[in-house]
Structure 1
Amino acid sequence: MNDFIDLSIADLLAQHQLDSFAALWDLELDAVDAPNTERGGWSSVALLTLGERRFFLKRQINHMTRSIQRPLGEPTFAREMRNIQRYQQLGIPALRAAYFAQRKVMGEQRAILMTHALDDWQDLDDWLQQWPQLSNEQQQGIVQACAKLAKTLHQAGQVHGCFYPKHIFLQKQALGFTAQLIDLEKTRPLLLGRRDRIKDLEPLFRRSQHAWGREQVQLFLQNYLDTPEHIPYWVERLDARRIDKETRP
């Protein structure tokens, strides 16, 4: 996959002598969480601050994924970068890439993906933790924003594959909220219609059930579905899938 740099920050990177793969790779930064060592490789995320701008700098070694199109494999960041570009083309609100490149160094497959930090945004997990303190208007605005995001995603023919509260970021607007997605690595085309959509949405409701009740689920589906009369069916199928997931050994 070709190198990418957001032209709006090209001068900023140059000013800090960070406009090359080697320079970004050699930066010594504290990781924001424990490295991911799955897939037989290594992948880490750090926060990079340049002046008043903040970015998440993600670096990986031999952290590969394979597909029918790429049977020999590619860095997982390459797939995520491709999905970021796809979301942008389809008009699905999501994080923005600042830099991407991959190199083979001393037999290792290395990749860098840098994204713009979502300053002034909070993930849904954070909002759920303060749910009882939110006004009814705020609660409704958050649910409606999440439903609008899911509807935009699925109408664009995409399945996120990891539609969890921690991957949905919200920002308060003058009227209501707006939402966008992060962590696009598992995105794939929506092929199985309603089955795929229910499978994609169920984790959101399962992981929000400590704060969201039947009222919130109903409100979400009212804003997500074009056919309100189908809400009972969707509630039934979502509940069935949740129960199945919760009772698996």
Structure 2
Amino acid sequence: MPSTPDSYTHPEWSAGLIDAGYASFDDWWNAEQNLVEVGNFRGPDANTSWSHVSRIELPDGRTVYLKRQQNHFPNNTLLKLRRICTFEIEYQNYLKLQEAGVPTMKIIHFATRKVNGDKQCIIVSEELKGMSPVDTLIKSFEATQWPSRKDRLAMLQAVVKVVKTMHRAGLIHNALYGRHIYLNIPIVEGRPQLPESYNACLIDLERTKSPGPKSPKLIKNDLEKMFRRIRQWPARDCLWFLKQYLGIDKLTPEAKAIARKIAATRK
């Protein structure tokens, strides 16, 4: 793993963050908590190894998400011995995906440090305003009504574009679940507001790997996982997605074998 810089701040956000009172590592580390999910804790007590995400509204009206962790290392033995936090890995993966042209959340600040033997790391990302995760959209569709097939395929086409760009660069997300795929569809009063055109992006990049553009993991570790987690999405749409991904009009024997594996994950 390449060395990670100790800190980075997006130049367009630097002055605004300072004005908001976030000029140092301690400013972020001690920020008022507004947790958006249950923290991840390991070890014998709550201080040994932990990781959590907070939502922060800045005075200028913008919203950011702050991810903080301490001594939170991956299961990989080598990386654990080197005491590399999972957020350091996520930041490295973010840079790889940015270089490959894969749309992701926008990281505006990253920093890491050691304090009294503890490894601490933070990532701050810009709110994906006007976007919703696919699993949340599915729940809204189920509660109200599903969009027309034309719109559904347009949504999937946006996802296909992102996934193919990533896979052509030899990268896999490795956690391609509905909650990690965002579409530019805001939900207002429980109802999805469909736009004229669709865009997608990815979040949660800690598990991203680089197996190469011809690796079987591209389908097994990404597509199979994705379709297993969005079982409610109509099956014929999923088959259309696969053909778009493979660049074919009709299913070949190889494509049929892939389709059967994907179908098996949705049962």
Q: Name which of 63, 75, 81 aligns with 2:72.
A: 63
* Contact 1:148–1:223 (Cα < 8 Å) also in 2: no
Instruction: Name 2:204's counterpart in structure 1.
Output: 183
* Contact 1:99–1:113 (Cα < 8 Å) also in 2: yes
Given the superposition, is the C-alpha separation of residues 159 and 232 from structure 1 closer, same or farther in structure 2, using an over 3 Å criterion? same
For normalisation by structure 2, the TM-score amounts to 0.84
Q: Name which of 104, 107, 110 aligns with 1:100.
A: 110
Structure 1: runs of 5+ lacking an equivalent: none
Given the superposition, is the C-alpha separation of residues 217 and 133 from structure 1 closer, same or farther in structure 2, using an over 3 Å criterion? closer
* Contact 2:169–2:212 (Cα < 8 Å) also in 1: no
Task: Considering fraction of residues, name the structure with more helix.
Answer: 1
Over the matched positions of the two proteins, sequence identity in percent amounts to 28
The Cα of 1:38 is off from its aligned counterpart by: 4.0
Q: Name which of 12, 16, 27 aligns with 2:16.
A: 12
Structure-2 separation of matches of 1:241 and 1:134: 23
* Contact 1:205–1:212 (Cα < 8 Å) also in 2: no
Instruction: Name 2:55's counterpart in structure 1.
Output: 47
Bigger mean CA offset, 65-74 vs 92-101:
65-74
Give the RMSD, CA atoms, in angstroms: 2.3
The Cα of 1:60 is off from its aligned counterpart by: 0.5
Bigger mean CA offset, 123-132 vs 76-85:
123-132
Matched, 1:36 2:40: yes
Q: Name which of 194, 200, 203 aligns with 2:225.
A: 203
Q: State the aligned residue count.
A: 245
For normalisation by structure 1, the TM-score amounts to 0.89
Structure-1 separation of matches of 2:61 and 2:211: 39
Q: Name which of 152, 159, 175 aligns with 1:162.
A: 175
Instruction: Name 1:143's counterpart in structure 2.
Output: 156
Structure 2: runs of 5+ lacking an equivalent: 186-193
String of CA shifts for 1:97-132, please: whole Å, max 9, x gaps. 111111111221111111111010011112212333
SS in 1 for 2:110: strand
The Cα of 1:176 is off from its aligned counterpart by: 2.8
Q: Which amino acid aligns with 1:140?
A: L
Structure-2 separation of matches of 1:151 and 1:15: 40
Structure-2 separation of matches of 1:126 and 1:190: 30
